[in-house]
Homo-oligomer: A and B are copies of this chain.
Amino acid sequence: MTNEQRQGGGPLTLTDAAERAGGRVVGDAGVVVTDVAPVDEAEPGHLAFLASRRYVRHAAGCRGAAFLVSEELADAVPDGSSRVVVSEPYPAMRALLQHFHPPRPWAASVHPTAIVGSDVVLGDGLEIGPYAVIEDGVRIGDGSRVGAHCVVGRGSRLGRACRLHPQVVLYEDTVLGDRVTVHSGARLGPDGFGYTVVDGEHAKIPQVGRCVVGDDVEIGANTTIDRGSLGDTRIGPGAKLDNLVHIAHNVRVGARSLMAALVGIAGSTRIGEGSFFGGQAGAINQLEIGDGVRVTAQTGIIGDLASGETVTGYPARPHREFLKSQALVSRLPGLAERVKRLEDEVSRLAKG
């Protein structure tokens, strides 16, 4: 169920909805809808969203008032039902959700329990939540929000319109661009995992680089991004990291790259722009990974990758090759059988 409290936009006729969604109406254009909902959970009044063939089976029993449906599935909904048909369903859904669920208004304020250090420069229209700790020398740009219990370490800089959800920790000298969103429990700038053996013990190498994050980055809950050892760790503009991702020291993640949950990238590996890493995938250290690379879930990368590659498995290899070798392995019992038959036949032939 969507949340009544966050609803802000009023009801829409299908005509209005189609306009916002960039689509066309089939059926009764005067039907009024109050929200968007998944096809299998839509209630009366809802615009039921259908964009995947896997969920077509729920269309017949759908209780919603009308469908928001992709061109491809426009005829997969019951005859006679009203629908808004769109060529790009996700941007359409997004536009309608932005109408029905506008961001909650918030008031600029610094909570009296927040602790603000010396030489701190706070922009206009900020929100600083309860028990937040802003250490010395921090600068925060206009319109940014720092949630409850956040710690912004000494000398850190946040751009404009950033949002730190509760309990984010930025270690000292962390740099965020504009419009960066960081979810609860993310840790930016802890020491990298850098040791060297001195007198038989693992001696820590001072981690003197920073964690530098570009504009429009979103960082998931409990994700960790280490500060650089020598030089900085950098997350490019528009990159999105899911929850529980680990980015090691001196990694560079290119602009607009996406990483699903539990991905781990080891030290100094550089990833190009617009790449995608599926969940639990990883890369070892000091690699060069190109632009537009697609890495399927759980893949383990242990060598450089050219731009545009799609890779799978451990060790990562081209996806097609992986599928082919999987198929051959599954046919191994048959191959072994054929070899056995050949041996019998050859033995017979040899005996003459």
Contact = CB atoms under 8 A, between A and B. Distances in A.
Nearest to A261: B246
A282 B88 CA distance: 29
A210 B3 contact: yes
A155 to B, nearest CB: 6
Contact of A38 (B91, B231, B336, B346): B231
A165 B173 contact: no
B38 A230 contact: yes
A208 B133 contact: no
Nearest to A135: B148
Number of copies of chain A assembled together: 3
Interface of A: 1-3, 5-6, 36-38, 41, 49, 52, 54, 88, 90-91, 93-94, 97-98, 100-101, 113, 115, 129-131, 133, 137, 147-149, 151, 154-155, 165-167, 169, 171-173, 183-185, 187, 190-191, 193, 195-198, 201-206, 208-210, 216, 218, 220-222, 224, 226, 230-232, 238, 240, 242-244, 246, 248, 250, 256, 258, 260-262, 264, 266, 278-280, 282, 284, 286, 297-298, 300, 302, 313-315, 324-326, 328-333, 335-336, 338-339, 342-343, 345-346, 349-350
Contact of A261 (B264, B330, B345): B264
Contact of A325 (B101, B130, B238, B332): B332
B155 A131 contact: no
A178 to B, nearest CB: 14
Contacts of A173: 3, 5-6
A305 B148 CA distance: 42
A153 to B, nearest CB: 8
A54 B113 CA distance: 50
Contact of A208 (B2, B137, B278): B2
A151 B130 CA distance: 10
B298 A279 contact: no
A205 B93 CA distance: 8
Contact of A52 (B130, B184, B205, B286): B286
A123 to B, nearest CB: 21
A102 to B, nearest CB: 9
Contacts of A137: 5
A231 to B, nearest CB: 4
A315 B326 contact: yes
B282 A262 contact: yes
Contact of A202 (B193, B231, B238, B349): B238
9 contacts: A1-B232, A3-B172, A54-B286, A90-B196, A133-B149, A193-B242, A242-B248, A244-B246, A342-B343
A166 B169 contact: yes
Q: Which 9 A-B pairs have the closest CB atoms?
A: A90-B196, A187-B221, A246-B261, A224-B243, A97-B206, A328-B332, A190-B221, A298-B300, A169-B184
B240 A195 contact: yes
Contacts of A238: 201-202
A346 B348 CA distance: 11
A105 to B, nearest CB: 13
